Structure 1
């Protein structure tokens, strides 16, 4: 099994699979690797075992990729998120279509405008999802045939390819609640948009608290070893040796902790 970073492991973790045993493969650890456990200082080292018993999402930091500004939201945040397919917006519909062609994408394309669009038929609010179905010729000019889907009905709009945005392309499908957006590994490198937050694109940075058990025995470096009966030490060492044999079967010498 390939090793992964602790952040990636936690984000993709199914809580129903806990507890999970990890082995530290390599990496740089918080505050010089020094931790306090039951009043004793210890440090994480390559090869150490930790048994993850619980993972709790504490908060999510939303970052504006353009300015670096951040805001925090709670895990109970009720807004919904749409994943954006690219790291940038497009100035016109023609630029949006050209980028799709360069990446061999086929119509239809899901997109939105960060500004209100006014047509003879109706007004499209900002951040309203649109579906670009085809390019048609009207009065000798190219127009994008777009579908506006409201709760009541669908409307067909013909927008000139010179229509100005900015426009963002987004992944098709229903918007996702916060926890689903965080747990889908296919979305981990994408930007998101959420109509209830102040920015048109944002990065989600979850912050977790990981509760874990470290078995302290002779090969673990500690500043102070707690006194314990000999039989308890032997039981702990035996348990760790059994876990070690199990984990080494899938060892891969790459950076990050490894879970089983």
Structure 2
């Protein structure tokens, strides 16, 4: 709650709660946290990115006040999905979770890792078609980056150029979709975040977590960081974006359904 208070004072109107699929983090704890944020900051959007859960859990979190949920499907191809995940996980379950989120009423996000081990152009085409049919409100596109303590620790990173190309493709497909320029891009290149914006991304996510907590959430090696607390980091980010002619909009950033309605009209 301290992070939300600080973020609100800085002008943030969307809070993102992101984490791994930790069985120690119960639904009751999450619901209590979401409800508290909703009570104290009723005008703000709450976005969750907490992995696969039963539909009932998604429903309870939605009822507690969450607005958005990002769950990357990662790869649509079932065989490729199996190569990337433990045997107890399945592509069918992941895709069902994404569909559940959308049917519940979340502004739903999905997406892919670009350049993940074993990925082919055919896989990417399947992903694009799946996302086209899903019509999500958010799309998370980022390069694969290895972590030394995983089975894929020695694999090469995904391509910055291919990631930027896909950002541009999705921006053309969905003119108003929420499309983040991720920290992973800044990890591949010092100006990666700015290049993501220029390629079509329209969301940046400054980190409100305290410095001492950030090292507990290392998704990949050499993760880019502004190396500053929230207020200082926001100023640095503003300066980076101003250099390419952009300003930060301090709004909820809700998705507009207008684009999809226009698309449906054209298809008819």
TM-score by length of 1: 0.24
Normalising by structure 2, report the TM-score: 0.23
Rg larger in structure: 1
Structure whose residues are more often helix by fraction:
2
